[in-house]
Structure 1
Amino acid sequence: MRTVYAFLMTSLDGYHADADGSVDWFVSDPEFDAYTRAQGERIDTIVMGRRTFELMASFWPTSDGIAEDPVVAGFMNDLPKVVASRSLTEHAWGPTTFVADDLAGHLAGLKQDPGKEIAVFGSSTLLADLLPTGVVDELRIAVAPVVLGSGLPLFAGAAGPVALERTDVRAVGDRVTLLTYRPTAAG
């Protein structure tokens, strides 16, 4: 069975985006970039919420996106995407499937198909909705050494507690700490 993991960056004080919705504070270095690029070899499906999809679609297919990181641009542009959206039904950045209702059910079905891992990129609000459903198998939270003071909380709108077990903590490069968690049956 395939697994679904979520990969997000957060500030040290727990915000996924600043007060203006910007993520221009995200940090990186060569080792973190290598970690990010390597994800393209382990996944064959990308899951996003509508806002994250529109942000990514405005960058990765462009000449700037391709020039910034051709490896990430390659898998972002080529891999199938599943997008939770009630307003979008088609988009030029493909291949894309839009799911208006029951994304958790859709992902549960995809997990039964043969293939590689399924990655939820960004999309903290979507992740807050998916976590209680049990469809997400692992969280990979990249913590940036930045304090924002306000913004969009990492799990804004989460419906109830979800118990997590820490499975790994490690530095990825000089700036990012990667926290890995697995949801547990106890909640």
Structure 2
Amino acid sequence: MRQMYAFLLTSLDGYHAGPGDELDWFRTDDEFERYSQDQGDVIDTIVMGRRTFEMMAAYWPTEQAYREDPVVAGFMNDLPKIVASRTLTSHPWGPTTFVADDVAAHLAAVKAEQGKDIAIFGSSTLVGELLPTGVIDELRVIVNPVVLGAGRPVFAGAAGPVGLHRTGVREFRNGNVLLTYRTMPGAST
């Protein structure tokens, strides 16, 4: 069975976005870019919530995106996307499937198909809602060495405790730390 992982960035104090939903505080460098590019080799489906989808759809199909990061732009534009949304039903950035109800069941069915891994990029609220369902197998959380003091919590909308087992720690030269966890739904610790 395919694996599904969520890839999130957070501040040290646990915010996925700043007070005005700004994301300009993420620290990136060549090492981080190589890590991001390598994700395209192991996935064949991308999952997003509506807000993340709209933000990414405004950037990745642009000439600027292809100029700045042609590898990531290539897989972001070419791979099938599944978007959890109760308001969007179509969009020119494709290939895209919109799912309004029972997102976890839809994703479980996709996981049962043959293919590479499935990645959820960003979409902290969606990740928080999906964690207790058991459909997410792994969390990859990049902790940025910055304290925001306010903003949108990284697991906003989390619907209950989910135990995690740390499987890896990677330090980036720019101060970011990648924490990797296997999920243990139903376990509180």
Q: SS of the counterpart of 1:139?
A: strand
Distance in 2 between residues matched to 1:21 and 1:3, nearest whole Å: 29
Give the aligned residue type for 2:14: G
1:150 aligns to 2:150 (yes or no): yes
Q: Offset at 1:63? A: 1.1
Q: SS of the counterpart of 2:59?
A: coil
Ranges in structure 2 where 5+ consecutive residues have no aligned partner:
none
Q: Is the contact between residue 32 and residue 173 of structure 1 (CA under 8 Å) also seen in structure 2?
A: no
Provide the residue aligned with 1:126 in structure 2: 126
Distance in 1 between residues matched to 2:158 and 2:130, nearest whole Å: 9
Provide the residue aligned with 1:56 in structure 2: 56
Q: SS of the counterpart of 2:159?
A: coil
Distance in 2 between residues matched to 1:98 and 1:175, nearest whole Å: 36
Provide the residue aligned with 2:174 in structure 1: 174
Q: Is the contact between residue 27 and residue 174 of structure 2 (CA under 8 Å) also seen in structure 1?
A: no
Q: Offset at 1:174? A: 2.6
Distance in 1 between residues matched to 2:49 and 2:184, nearest whole Å: 24
Provide the residue aligned with 1:26 in structure 2: 26
Percent identity for Structure 1 against Structure 2: 66
Deviation track 1:44-100 (CA, whole Å, cap 9, x = no partner) reads 000000000000000000111111100000000000000000111110000000000
Runs of 4+ in 1 over 4 A off after TM superposition: none
Q: Is the contact between residue 6 and residue 121 of structure 1 (CA under 8 Å) also seen in structure 2?
A: yes
Provide the residue aligned with 1:36 in structure 2: 36
Distance in 2 between residues matched to 1:74 and 1:179, nearest whole Å: 26
Give the aligned residue type for 1:153: P
Q: SS of the counterpart of 1:46?
A: strand
Q: Is the contact between residue 9 and residue 144 of structure 1 (CA under 8 Å) also seen in structure 2?
A: yes
Q: SS of the counterpart of 2:149?
A: coil
Ranges in structure 1 where 5+ consecutive residues have no aligned partner:
none
The Cα RMSD (Å) is 0.8
Provide the residue aligned with 2:162 in structure 1: 162
Q: Is the contact between residue 126 and residue 157 of structure 2 (CA under 8 Å) also seen in structure 1?
A: no
Provide the residue aligned with 2:13 in structure 1: 13
* Number of aligned positions between the proteins: 187
Q: SS of the counterpart of 2:40?
A: helix
